[in-house]
Amino acid sequence: MNIRWLAGVALAFFVAACQSAPSTPSVEADSLAQATDTLALPATNYYEIRTPLGRMVVRLYDETPLHRDNFKRLVAAGFYDSTTFHRVIDGFVIQGGDPNSKDADPSNDGTGGPGYTLPAEIRPGLFHKRGALAAARQGDEVNPERRSSGSQFYLVVGRTFDEATLDEIEVYLREQIPDPDFAFPDSVRQLYQTVGGAPFLDGLYTVFGELVEGFEVMDAIARVPTPRSTGRQAPPTMLDRPLQPVPMTIRPLENYSPGS
């Protein structure tokens, strides 16, 4: 398998996914900050993402407090309500959180945000396993600090990888991160072989949570027909946009008990 080709294709989806980082705070960002400054953030790290195809529950990580609290603020402000999963790729990711997806112009989906970006919180113990919740961002050529989009996120649908391919991915990531000593822990390597994920994104994007309920819903969203999956003509930026919108609302789950 050509890992550079695979990673290049995968990363291209995210490069187009985020707005350019503004040099100064935008009016939109200022308004959002004013609206959320007085909001008390819920103590819970569990959030429900409700869609027409069912509900998913994610858990935010305390190891990534900037992304955790930003997500909580946006939810409290109703920012995500009626946004859509504007990019869905079976075996890879479902991506959403762009306010532009609420308007009548599908060509701008994937280019919007709240008017700011977030510092990267890429942690060595957080991986792109199946169900990982991570932040989209622009590519390294325009974003060498790997700052995250202020709102766009993705859930890893993923697929499994064999030992030889994981070896290739390790070599690739040692160059890209860069970290000459990078290696998947044995437990993570086993996870990628049995459960799956998107290991070629590790160390390059901020993972800030994980799916704990609704994997079947995530898979259903990933399989929603798109121009690419149905062989229809579309501009490159719209090839993975669902033919039927998949809107979402997100709410905190104050009394959620995993496994209940």
Q: What pLDDT is stored for residue 66 in this prediction?
A: 98
Q: What pLDDT is stored for residue 28 in this prediction?
A: 53
The SS3 of residue 92 is coil
C-alpha dihedral sign at 65, 66, 72, 75: negative
User: Taking the domains of the chain in order of start, what are their residue ranges?
Assistant: 3-20+44-252
Q: What pLDDT is stored for residue 228 in this prediction?
A: 96
Range 3-20+44-252: architecture per CATH = Beta Barrel (2.40)
pTM, two decimals, is: 0.91
Instruction: Give 22's DSSP letter.
Output: P
Q: What pLDDT is stored for residue 251 in this prediction?
A: 98
Contact in structure between 217 and 55 (CB atoms under 8 Å) = yes
Backbone phi, then psi, for 96, in 5-degree steps? Answer: -155, -170
Q: What pLDDT is stored for residue 23 in this prediction?
A: 35
Q: What pLDDT is stored for residue 40 in this prediction?
A: 85
Average pLDDT, 10 consecutive residues per value, the chain (260 residues): 61 49 44 64 98 99 98 98 97 97 91 96 98 96 96 98 97 97 98 98 98 99 98 94 98 88
Q: Shortest CA distance to 245 belongs to which of 49, 109, 86, 94?
A: 86
Residue with tokens 């160390």: 203
Q: What pLDDT is stored for residue 35 in this prediction?
A: 56
